[in-house]
Amino acid sequence: LQNLLKGGVTCWALQQPNFKSLFPLGIHGHHTASKSLNCAWQQHEDHFELQYANTVMRFDYVWLRDHCRSASCYNSKTHQRSLDTASVDLCIKPKTVRLDETTLFFTWPDGHVTRYDLEWLVKNSYEGQKQKIIQPRILWNAEIYRQAQVTPVDFQSFLETNEGLKKFLQNFLLYGIAFVENVPPTQEHTEKLAERISLIRETIYGRMWYFTSDFSRGDTAYTKLALDRHTDTTYFQEPCGIQVFHCLKHEGTGGRTLLVDGFYAAEQVLQKSPEEFELLSKVPLKHEYIENVGKCHNHMIGVGPVLNIYPWNKELYLIRYNNYDRAVINTVPYDVVHRWYTAHRALTVELRRPENELWVKLKPGRVLFIDNWRVLHGRESFTGYRQLCGCYLTRDDVLNTARLLGLQA
């Protein structure tokens, strides 16, 4: 036994009723819980290792002390930390560890006891989060979306019932687009609709925008020209999360709206050329908006990669794609620039595949909500007089509404 301990070899103890470990828990050893739990742990010099629910997890000791949920460390009413993290010894280690049923107890050198439910640790461990999807989605091309037969939500149901609102938000979260129908074709009713799920985000374009093809702003959107697929406000440090469109009147031809699931296209790039997907997620680009029209004088700059992913699970959460507003590429050396152009071309090819294009005709009474972090939009050129109104919504508030209705977002 002494030779084993001197050599640092793992020590084992089986936890069963009325069975006491031969080794004190203070020794860096490996302790296995009952077979029914299939739980085992090991204390290492700089971390705690836990195996449970088919997951091997590793926890830093400071993390274990910092996340204590005892009454003195965490306010369960406000769901806020009370412990001063800066007061925790960076070299802290538990004095003892024990398992009771499905709860681990850590006793620290000062006598404070931290308890963790095993399921809580699985859910909140890095290893657990790596396996978890933040927001479930259904990726689509035109055929997939049509076959899904996603139905719009009625205006009154949307405004007056949680069932209608929840159905709308479920559609929006899964597909990145959702429609509300039978909306009175006025700016006031469109505003009322938007405020049902979020605060309206006021920008340089105002709170609610109302425009025709009069080029009243220095933007191609205020013309009759066709617009290629893009996401909006890439020149904001945080692009607007949701866009609302309502065509109030159109006396002419053309003007269909183009919708493309950017995440579906990015997934194709990932499957075919993972190195190009990775490059698009790492190279920072500048996007720029310069306007000097009438009383409007603006110079906006936003920085970020085309594809934005959560680093722990590689889940894509934002695409920033706008060839109109992309500024000079001067953030990476020339050899990386050429590789970026190759990767950008691969993504553009996928975005421009005809089978990935969903064309819809906006008309009075039918309001379209677009996830501007996911779905690209564009339009055909058009003739005649066309009035649109809409706004941007704060993403946090839309997701907050969804979570309060029991949706994963």
pLDDT of residue 217 exceeding 70: no
Q: Which of 129, 155, 185 is the last residue of a domain?
A: 129
Could you tell me the pTM of the whole model?
A: 0.86
Residue tagged 């617009």 (tokens): 227
- Which pLDDT value is given to residue 390? 96
pLDDT digits (tens, 9 = 90+) for 245-275: 999 999 889 889 999 999 999 999 999 999 9
**Separation of alpha carbons 14 and 28, rounded Å:** 15
Give the pLDDT band of residue 378 (cuts 50, 70, 90): very high
By mean pLDDT, which of 117-121, 139-143, 216-220 is the weakest? 216-220
**Separation of alpha carbons 399 and 407, rounded Å:** 9
pLDDT digits (tens, 9 = 90+) for 307-342: 999 999 999 999 999 999 999 999 999 999 999 999
Say whether both 44 and 166 belong to one domain.
no
Bridge partners (DSSP) of residue 13 are 31
- Which pLDDT value is given to residue 16? 34
**Separation of alpha carbons 288 and 339, rounded Å:** 22
pLDDT of residue 14 exceeding 90: no
Q: Which of 129, 157, 190 is the last residue of a domain?
A: 129
Q: Which of 80, 105, 129 is the last residue of a domain?
A: 129
Judge whether 240 lies within some domain.
yes
- Which pLDDT value is given to residue 72? 97
17 Cβ contact partners less than 8 Å away, ≥ 6 residues apart = none
Judge whether 391 lies within some domain.
yes
**Separation of alpha carbons 152 and 367, rounded Å:** 9
Give the total residue count for the chain: 409
Say whether both 321 and 343 belong to one domain.
yes
CB 383 within 8 A of CB 224: yes
Say whether both 74 and 173 belong to one domain.
no
What residue type is 379 in one-letter code?
R
Structure-derived torsion over alpha carbons of residues 396, 401, 404, 406, reported in degrees to the nearest 10: -100
**Separation of alpha carbons 25 and 33, rounded Å:** 13
- Which pLDDT value is given to residue 19? 29
Which stretches within 7-150 are classed as H helix? 61-66, 118-124, 126-130, 142-148
CB 292 within 8 A of CB 278: no
Give the pLDDT band of residue 371 (cuts 50, 70, 90): very high
The CATH number given to whatever domain includes residue 210 is 3.60.130.10
CB 242 within 8 A of CB 397: no
- Packing angle between helix 162-175 and helix 395-404, nearest 10 degrees? 120
Say whether both 158 and 260 belong to one domain.
yes
- Which pLDDT value is given to residue 10? 32
- The two tokens of residue 134 are 């933040």
Share of the chain above pLDDT 90, in %: 82
**What is the H or E stretch that residue 41 is in?**
strand 40-43
Say whether both 200 and 95 belong to one domain.
no
Judge whether 10 lies within some domain.
no
- Which pLDDT value is given to residue 293? 87
**Separation of alpha carbons 284 and 1, rounded Å:** 56
Judge whether 134 lies within some domain.
no
CB 395 within 8 A of CB 201: no
- Which pLDDT value is given to residue 24? 35
Say whether both 148 and 82 belong to one domain.
no
pLDDT of residue 134 exceeding 80: yes
Judge whether 3 lies within some domain.
no
Say whether both 330 and 356 belong to one domain.
yes
pLDDT digits (tens, 9 = 90+) for 49-82: 999 999 999 999 999 999 999 999 999 999 999 9
- Which pLDDT value is given to residue 223? 76
pLDDT digits (tens, 9 = 90+) for 325-334: 999 999 999 9
**Integer distance in angstroms from the first to the last C-alpha of the chain?**
52
> What is the Rg, in whole angstroms, of the alpha carbon atoms belonging to the chain?
27
Say whether both 304 and 329 belong to one domain.
yes
Q: What is the mean pLDDT of residues 366-390?
A: 95
b/e string for 320-335 if b means 16 or more Cβ within 10 A?
A: bbbeebbbebeeeeee
Pick the closest to residue 349 from 338, 341, 337 (CA basis). 341
Judge whether 6 lies within some domain.
no
Say whether both 153 and 27 belong to one domain.
no
Judge whether 9 lies within some domain.
no
pLDDT of residue 236 exceeding 70: yes
- Which pLDDT value is given to residue 31? 57
pLDDT digits (tens, 9 = 90+) for 4-13: 333 333 333 3
Q: How many domains does the chain have?
A: 2
Say whether both 253 and 321 belong to one domain.
yes
- Which pLDDT value is given to residue 331? 94
pLDDT of residue 18 exceeding 50: no
Say whether both 210 and 120 belong to one domain.
no
Say whether both 78 and 173 belong to one domain.
no
- Which pLDDT value is given to residue 211? 77
pLDDT averaged over every residue in the chain? 90
293 Cβ contact partners less than 8 Å away, ≥ 6 residues apart = 215, 216, 217, 218
Question: Within 10 A of 14 (CB to CB), how many other CB atoms are there?
Answer: 13
- Which pLDDT value is given to residue 35? 54
User: Strands 12-14 and 30-32: what pairing?
Assistant: parallel
pLDDT digits (tens, 9 = 90+) for 190-199: 999 999 999 9
By mean pLDDT, which of 293-297, 395-399, 400-404 is the weakest? 293-297
- Which pLDDT value is given to residue 36? 57
pLDDT digits (tens, 9 = 90+) for 169-183: 999 999 999 999 999
- The two tokens of residue 349 are 């090819």
Judge whether 7 lies within some domain.
no
The residue range of the domain holding 311 is 142-404
